[in-house]
Structure 1
Amino acid sequence: MLTDMHVAIIGGDARQLEVIRKLIELDARLSLIGFDQLDHGFTGASKERLDEIDFTDIDAIILPVFGTNSEGEVETIFSNETVVLTEEILSQTPEHCVVFSGISNTYLDGITNATNRKLVRLFERDDVAIYNSIPTVEGTIMMVIQHTDITIHDSNVAVLGLGRVGMSVARSFAALGAHVKVGARKTEHIARITEMGLTPFQLANLAEEVKDIDVCINTVPKLIVTANVISKMPAHTLIVDLASKPGGTDFRYAEKRGIKALLAPGLPGIVAPKTAGQIVANVLSQLLLELLQQREENE
């Protein structure tokens, strides 16, 4: 149980509602910032403004999946209030306070480093990424069905990258009857693709591998679907880019060429916010319990 642990949940989307429910079950004391327009009332949680919080009493801060922007603003879809997490605010928290975010950026890294506060990037954890690959795959399948006029079965699909998401996407499209080839750089990934019964290729040869594809699904967070690559694709090819913003595709050239290219990061929160929220909530609750246990052992 998280009894007497004071947690500030700042902003977020529908996924954060599952986090709130889970932490209330564990008897944590919650301050909700950026939720003033939320109709749902949570017993055991109080809606507050940022300037009303006594941060000297905060044990953990939970940010949305995307953390802050480059100016420190936190997305708050349940409020019109502009919420900015600053170095000054963090410096008021106890030394043991931990900041949780899905991903980070230079700004968030900077203020946590400057205040010597621990920052946990949830989406860098293997467990979160693997669980999240499930709704990501379902959302990708949905997008391909919506934006093509052919069946997935018997289509030619290229998946770029064999990370945690790429592996799940490749396996699922193959299970639906697609002819799947997977591009990777590491020799061990090439071996794994072969073991999975799929067709491997080196990403260095990408331009040669896209000449007959119907769908290109990118998971690599760097520009690899370049103008040169897109110029070799059939006109009907659909590109679905699952990499974090700005993606790994030259979207300007794709539009110029008339090829449909969709940037689709954060699919779990779009297609299955309840499940995506439960994934984050379960991992967060475990991490907070471990944090509490460590504090009790040190006291």
Structure 2
Amino acid sequence: MHLPSLLPASLAFLLTATACSQAQNEHAGAPSQTAPGPGKKGKGGDHHKDKAAAALIPGLRQVGSLKGVVPESSGLCPAEQPGTYFSFGDEGNAATLYRLGATGQLLGTLPLGTANTDWESLSRDDQGNYFVGDCGNNANDRQNLVVHRFRPDQPRQVQDIKFKYPDQTEFPPEKKKDHNFDCEASLWHDGKVWLFSKDRGRDATSKVYTVPDQPGTYTAQLVARLAIPGQVTDAALRPDGHRLVLLGRGELFVLDGNSWDEILKAPPRQVSLEGAGQTEGTVFKDATTLLISTEQGSFYEFKLPF
């Protein structure tokens, strides 16, 4: 997920930007997914109903199943070998990565030398390091947020990137509208881990933060605010660095640009995946195709419509 360094001049602008770009709905009249009611994450769902509904979504096809393979898949990332991928379970599951083939078949497991408080994202750099975002924060009250750094050939040797948000002073915030400190999506780029918040305050805003990719204790830097009318569950950057996909529950958002700062200022284009289930993980299979996983166990291939 490496992209050449293109940020310095534009980053200063983004740090002070307050305006959000406007999302464009690629399916006119297609309803956005709403968050489930009170509870952990709205888990469950009917796998068979999801499969039937997904067959009606243009470009989406089920290529496999993760049921009995990955418990509550919450993210996807390329593994070391081309054509293979890592996934993992979120809160309450083992601190283990599951190595998958392109149709969801299990190729192996990789236990890490750390705990899984609430793993929600996984990315890698251009040197073979991986970063697990243990920053799921459903109640917006965590003060032990961390990104775990490791190499697959030394999975027991885990380094911690601990962080806090610069704009959070209450745990949880008193006002519901301020509950925007959950993070289920991250990626590595240009020496930093980029974090995309999942807005539980219903403000239609995903805040973008960065932390260094080196172990230590940091205050994250708030870089941008994206107008995302949904709750972001994963992020994937196309290998050429010109397209960012933010996955939501039953939808995704596509941002394009010739540079990283252009991407973060681009109007997100919204694509409905309504009926596909609780979509939680995505990764580029190739330049025009995504793999998508759900907590219910569906494993999809999706051809982007543009």
Q: Per residue, is there more helix in 1 or in 2? A: 1
Q: TM-score, normalised by structure 1?
A: 0.24
Q: TM-score, normalised by structure 2?
A: 0.23
Higher strand share: 2
Larger relative contact order (CA 8 Å, sep ≥ 6): 2
